[in-house]
Amino acid sequence: MFTGIVESLAEVIKVDSEGTNKTFTFKSPIANEFKIDQSVNHNGVCLTVVGIEFDTYRVTAIEETLSKTNLGSLLVNDKVNLERCMPANGRFDGHIVQGHVDQTGVCIRIEERDGSWLFDFEYDASLGNLTVEKGSICINGVSLTVFNSEHNTFRVAIIPYTYEFTNFHSLKVGDRVNLEFDILGKYIKRILGSYAL
């Protein structure tokens, strides 16, 4: 389990295709703290570390992951947000994040607001996901609070620290992002949906 509090950025230094899978080699200042078989959140996607060498490590993404997230479009020099699993004795600073991306969304607007930024995103509501006002959302692995929640759009505010230390500083209008909707909201919707039958 993750909390959506990004620890570090990782830079893509190599991408190898193996059948329908891709193995990514990342460089990160915390790579030497990883272990083989450890789960690490990459832009909101839980991937298993399969190799480590000095300040680099490797993970493999299968076709399902590549088709449903923005990892399939990663290129050398791109940066992803990293978070290791929450330790059992750690603080719960964000919200419950599983590392299971529900769908991608598209950045449709960026507005600078005198030292902070507002980002608007659009997603395909026909897939059954939803946001709620002041609810939680995980965007590229970052735990954020939703406002201006509409049928298929929402807005988040980004403070300077988050802008600088995550890949939000490199997002542009039109970019695809990974979205994990709040697990509590998904369970409630599923339960209420069964009563509507």
Q: What is the pLDDT of residues 111-122, one digit of tens each?
A: 999 889 999 999
For residue 186, the model assigns a pLDDT of 82
Same domain, 145 and 182: yes
In a domain, 93, yes or no: no
- 179: Cβ contacts below 8 Å, ≥ 6 apart: 44, 101, 102, 103, 104, 105, 121, 123, 129, 137, 138, 139
Q: What is the pLDDT of the chain when averaged over all its residues?
A: 94
pLDDT at 196 over 60: no
In a domain, 178, yes or no: yes
CATH code of the domain containing 178: 2.40.30.20
Give me the number of domains the chain comprises: 2
Same domain, 69 and 142: no
Residue 79 near residue 170 (C-beta atoms within 8 A): yes
Its domain, for residue 46, covers 8-84
Give the pLDDT mean for 33-62. Answer: 96
pLDDT at 173 over 90: yes
Q: How confident is the model at residue 76 (pLDDT cuts 50, 70, 90)?
A: very high
Same domain, 62 and 123: no
Same domain, 115 and 73: no
For residue 194, the model assigns a pLDDT of 64
Residue environment code for 127-141, b if the CB has 16+ CB neighbours within 10 A, otherwise e: eebbbeeebbbbbbb
For residue 195, the model assigns a pLDDT of 64
- Of the residues 21, 56, 84, which one is the last residue of a structural domain? 84
Q: How confident is the model at residue 16 (pLDDT cuts 50, 70, 90)?
A: very high
- Of the residues 28, 55, 84, which one is the last residue of a structural domain? 84
pLDDT at 92 over 80: no
For residue 87, the model assigns a pLDDT of 80
| Pairwise CA distance, residues 123 & 111, whole Å | 19
Give the pLDDT mean for 154-177. Answer: 97
- Of the residues 19, 54, 84, which one is the last residue of a structural domain? 84
In a domain, 91, yes or no: no
For residue 53, the model assigns a pLDDT of 94
pLDDT at 197 over 80: no
Residue 4 near residue 143 (C-beta atoms within 8 A): yes
In a domain, 98, yes or no: no
Same domain, 74 and 114: no
Q: Which residue has the tokens 């005198």?
A: 114
